[in-house]
Amino acid sequence: MHEIKNDDFYGLAKQYDSDPEYHFVGEVDYHILEDDKHYEGLQSHRKALIVVFDHLAQNSREDLKGVRERYGDDMADQLCPLVYDIDKAQPTSLGPNEFLYCPNIVKIDYNGCVFYDAEWEPNDDNFGTTVPYWYALMEPIHGKRNTPEDFKKVNEVLFPNGTAALDIYEWTTDWSDFFDAGHEWYGACCWSIYDKCMNRYVVMLVSATD
Protein backbone atom coordinates (compact mmCIF):
# COMPACT_ATOMS: atom_id res chain seq x y z
CA MET A 1 0.00 0.00 0.00
CA HIS A 2 1.25 3.48 -0.78
CA GLU A 3 0.04 7.06 -0.89
CA ILE A 4 -1.21 8.43 -4.20
CA LYS A 5 0.91 11.43 -5.18
CA ASN A 6 -1.33 12.90 -7.87
CA ASP A 7 -5.09 13.03 -7.56
CA ASP A 8 -7.76 15.50 -8.66
CA PHE A 9 -8.66 16.03 -5.02
CA TYR A 10 -5.25 17.52 -4.27
CA GLY A 11 -5.85 20.27 -6.81
CA LEU A 12 -9.05 21.19 -5.01
CA ALA A 13 -7.34 21.08 -1.60
CA LYS A 14 -4.76 23.64 -2.78
CA GLN A 15 -7.58 26.15 -3.13
CA TYR A 16 -7.95 25.95 0.66
CA ASP A 17 -4.30 25.54 1.70
CA SER A 18 -1.46 26.27 -0.72
CA ASP A 19 1.30 24.45 1.21
CA PRO A 20 2.66 21.95 -1.35
CA GLU A 21 3.55 19.34 1.30
CA TYR A 22 0.09 19.03 2.82
CA HIS A 23 -3.53 18.62 1.77
CA PHE A 24 -5.63 20.46 4.31
CA VAL A 25 -9.19 21.68 4.16
CA GLY A 26 -10.13 23.37 7.41
CA GLU A 27 -8.33 21.36 10.10
CA VAL A 28 -8.55 18.08 8.16
CA ASP A 29 -5.34 16.57 6.79
CA TYR A 30 -6.14 14.18 3.89
CA HIS A 31 -4.08 11.18 2.75
CA ILE A 32 -5.20 9.12 -0.27
CA LEU A 33 -3.79 5.62 -0.71
CA GLU A 34 -4.08 2.58 -2.96
CA ASP A 35 -3.18 -1.07 -2.53
CA ASP A 36 -2.39 -3.86 -4.97
CA LYS A 37 -3.75 -6.45 -2.55
CA HIS A 38 -7.38 -7.38 -1.99
CA TYR A 39 -9.37 -5.47 0.59
CA GLU A 40 -9.32 -7.25 3.94
CA GLY A 41 -11.65 -5.08 5.97
CA LEU A 42 -10.34 -3.75 9.25
CA GLN A 43 -6.88 -5.19 8.65
CA SER A 44 -6.55 -3.07 5.51
CA HIS A 45 -7.65 0.04 7.39
CA ARG A 46 -4.93 -0.55 9.99
CA LYS A 47 -2.43 -0.99 7.19
CA ALA A 48 -3.49 2.38 5.75
CA LEU A 49 -2.90 4.04 9.11
CA ILE A 50 0.55 2.45 9.36
CA VAL A 51 1.54 3.76 5.93
CA VAL A 52 0.40 7.29 6.82
CA PHE A 53 2.03 7.35 10.24
CA ASP A 54 5.28 5.84 8.96
CA HIS A 55 5.36 8.76 6.53
CA LEU A 56 4.59 11.30 9.27
CA ALA A 57 7.23 9.77 11.56
CA GLN A 58 9.84 9.93 8.80
CA ASN A 59 9.00 13.58 8.18
CA SER A 60 9.33 14.35 11.88
CA ARG A 61 12.78 12.73 11.99
CA GLU A 62 13.87 14.80 9.01
CA ASP A 63 12.51 17.95 10.66
CA LEU A 64 14.40 17.11 13.84
CA LYS A 65 17.59 16.62 11.85
CA GLY A 66 17.07 20.03 10.25
CA VAL A 67 16.58 21.67 13.65
CA ARG A 68 19.78 20.05 14.91
CA GLU A 69 21.74 21.30 11.89
CA ARG A 70 20.35 24.84 12.06
CA TYR A 71 20.00 25.47 15.79
CA GLY A 72 22.26 22.93 17.50
CA ASP A 73 21.88 20.04 19.90
CA ASP A 74 20.37 22.01 22.77
CA MET A 75 17.33 22.96 20.73
CA ALA A 76 17.03 19.57 19.04
CA ASP A 77 17.24 17.66 22.32
CA GLN A 78 14.07 19.42 23.49
CA LEU A 79 12.13 17.83 20.63
CA CYS A 80 11.08 14.26 19.93
CA PRO A 81 10.23 12.52 16.66
CA LEU A 82 6.65 11.36 16.22
CA VAL A 83 5.85 7.94 17.66
CA TYR A 84 2.79 5.71 17.43
CA ASP A 85 1.53 2.31 18.56
CA ILE A 86 -1.07 1.06 16.09
CA ASP A 87 -1.97 -1.88 18.34
CA LYS A 88 -3.60 0.58 20.75
CA ALA A 89 -5.84 2.11 18.07
CA GLN A 90 -9.47 1.05 18.51
CA PRO A 91 -12.04 1.45 15.69
CA THR A 92 -15.73 2.24 15.58
CA SER A 93 -17.67 1.69 12.39
CA LEU A 94 -19.63 4.66 11.01
CA GLY A 95 -22.25 4.82 8.30
CA PRO A 96 -21.76 7.23 5.38
CA ASN A 97 -24.83 9.28 6.28
CA GLU A 98 -23.65 9.66 9.88
CA PHE A 99 -20.09 10.58 8.96
CA LEU A 100 -20.95 12.93 6.10
CA TYR A 101 -23.79 14.72 7.88
CA CYS A 102 -23.69 18.45 7.22
CA PRO A 103 -25.82 20.97 9.13
CA ASN A 104 -27.29 24.18 7.79
CA ILE A 105 -26.32 27.66 8.92
CA VAL A 106 -29.05 29.17 11.08
CA LYS A 107 -27.53 32.59 11.59
CA ILE A 108 -24.32 34.57 11.74
CA ASP A 109 -24.18 37.10 14.55
CA TYR A 110 -22.59 40.56 14.52
CA ASN A 111 -19.29 39.09 15.78
CA GLY A 112 -19.15 36.69 12.86
CA CYS A 113 -19.97 33.62 14.96
CA VAL A 114 -21.83 30.98 12.95
CA PHE A 115 -24.70 28.98 14.41
CA TYR A 116 -25.79 25.65 12.92
CA ASP A 117 -28.89 23.50 13.25
CA ALA A 118 -26.77 20.64 14.64
CA GLU A 119 -27.18 18.75 17.90
CA TRP A 120 -23.41 18.84 18.41
CA GLU A 121 -21.87 22.19 19.31
CA PRO A 122 -18.45 23.10 20.69
CA ASN A 123 -18.31 23.55 24.46
CA ASP A 124 -16.08 22.87 27.45
CA ASP A 125 -17.25 19.24 27.62
CA ASN A 126 -16.15 18.20 24.14
CA PHE A 127 -13.06 20.32 23.55
CA GLY A 128 -10.02 18.07 23.14
CA THR A 129 -12.13 15.10 22.05
CA THR A 130 -13.32 13.94 18.64
CA VAL A 131 -15.16 16.64 16.71
CA PRO A 132 -17.54 15.89 13.82
CA TYR A 133 -16.05 15.80 10.36
CA TRP A 134 -18.21 18.73 9.22
CA TYR A 135 -16.96 20.89 12.10
CA ALA A 136 -13.29 20.05 11.47
CA LEU A 137 -13.67 21.12 7.85
CA MET A 138 -15.91 24.14 8.28
CA GLU A 139 -14.62 25.68 11.52
CA PRO A 140 -10.80 25.83 11.55
CA ILE A 141 -9.02 27.66 14.35
CA HIS A 142 -7.31 30.08 12.01
CA GLY A 143 -7.84 31.01 8.40
CA LYS A 144 -10.85 30.68 6.16
CA ARG A 145 -14.12 29.39 7.56
CA ASN A 146 -15.75 27.03 5.08
CA THR A 147 -19.43 26.73 4.22
CA PRO A 148 -21.77 23.74 3.89
CA GLU A 149 -21.32 24.16 0.14
CA ASP A 150 -17.54 23.76 0.56
CA PHE A 151 -18.10 20.65 2.66
CA LYS A 152 -20.27 19.08 -0.03
CA LYS A 153 -17.92 20.10 -2.85
CA VAL A 154 -14.89 18.61 -1.13
CA ASN A 155 -16.62 15.28 -0.58
CA GLU A 156 -18.04 15.14 -4.09
CA VAL A 157 -14.50 15.43 -5.46
CA LEU A 158 -13.10 13.02 -2.86
CA PHE A 159 -15.81 10.42 -3.52
CA PRO A 160 -16.87 11.04 -7.15
CA ASN A 161 -18.81 7.77 -7.41
CA GLY A 162 -20.99 8.53 -4.42
CA THR A 163 -20.84 7.41 -0.81
CA ALA A 164 -22.97 4.25 -0.69
CA ALA A 165 -19.90 1.99 -1.13
CA LEU A 166 -17.79 3.53 1.66
CA ASP A 167 -16.48 1.56 4.65
CA ILE A 168 -15.71 4.11 7.38
CA TYR A 169 -13.97 3.75 10.74
CA GLU A 170 -13.40 6.32 13.43
CA TRP A 171 -10.33 5.55 15.54
CA THR A 172 -9.33 6.41 19.08
CA THR A 173 -6.51 8.93 19.33
CA ASP A 174 -4.53 7.78 22.39
CA TRP A 175 -1.94 5.85 20.38
CA SER A 176 0.26 8.60 18.92
CA ASP A 177 1.68 11.89 20.11
CA PHE A 178 0.53 13.31 16.78
CA PHE A 179 -2.80 13.90 18.50
CA ASP A 180 -1.42 15.64 21.60
CA ALA A 181 -2.10 19.13 20.27
CA GLY A 182 -5.71 18.29 19.55
CA HIS A 183 -6.18 16.83 23.02
CA GLU A 184 -5.19 20.18 24.48
CA TRP A 185 -8.13 22.05 23.03
CA TYR A 186 -9.66 21.94 19.53
CA GLY A 187 -9.98 18.21 19.05
CA ALA A 188 -8.21 15.08 17.80
CA CYS A 189 -9.67 12.83 15.10
CA CYS A 190 -8.65 9.88 12.98
CA TRP A 191 -10.87 8.41 10.28
CA SER A 192 -10.11 5.78 7.66
CA ILE A 193 -12.34 5.24 4.65
CA TYR A 194 -12.27 2.58 1.96
CA ASP A 195 -14.06 3.39 -1.29
CA LYS A 196 -15.10 0.09 -2.88
CA CYS A 197 -15.93 1.77 -6.19
CA MET A 198 -12.48 3.32 -6.58
CA ASN A 199 -10.50 0.69 -4.65
CA ARG A 200 -8.70 3.32 -2.63
CA TYR A 201 -8.37 4.54 0.94
CA VAL A 202 -8.65 7.96 2.50
CA VAL A 203 -7.14 8.66 5.92
CA MET A 204 -8.28 11.91 7.54
CA LEU A 205 -6.47 13.37 10.55
CA VAL A 206 -7.26 16.27 12.84
CA SER A 207 -5.07 17.59 15.66
CA ALA A 208 -5.10 21.28 16.46
CA THR A 209 -4.95 23.66 19.37
CA ASP A 210 -4.77 27.42 19.81
Q: What mean pLDDT is predicted for residues 103-112?
A: 86
Q: What is the pLDDT of residues 158-167, one digit of tens each?
A: 999 999 999 9
So what's the pLDDT on residue 40?
A: 95
Q: Give residue 28's identity as a one-letter amino acid code.
A: V
Confidence check: pLDDT of 46 > 70: yes
pLDDT at 65: 52
The more confidently predicted of residues 63 and 174 is 174
| Stated pTM of the model | 0.90
Q: Tell me which H or E stretch contains 177.
A: none
pLDDT for position 172: 97
Please list the alpha-helical segments (H only) found in 29-115.
42-71, 73-76, 96-99
For residue 2, give the 3-state DSSP assignment. Answer: strand
Which SS3 state, helix, strand or coil, does residue 88 take? Answer: helix
Q: Which amino acid is at 145?
A: R
What is the rounded distance in angstroms from the CA atom of residue 43 to the CA atom of residue 20? 30
| pLDDT value at 67 more than 60 | no
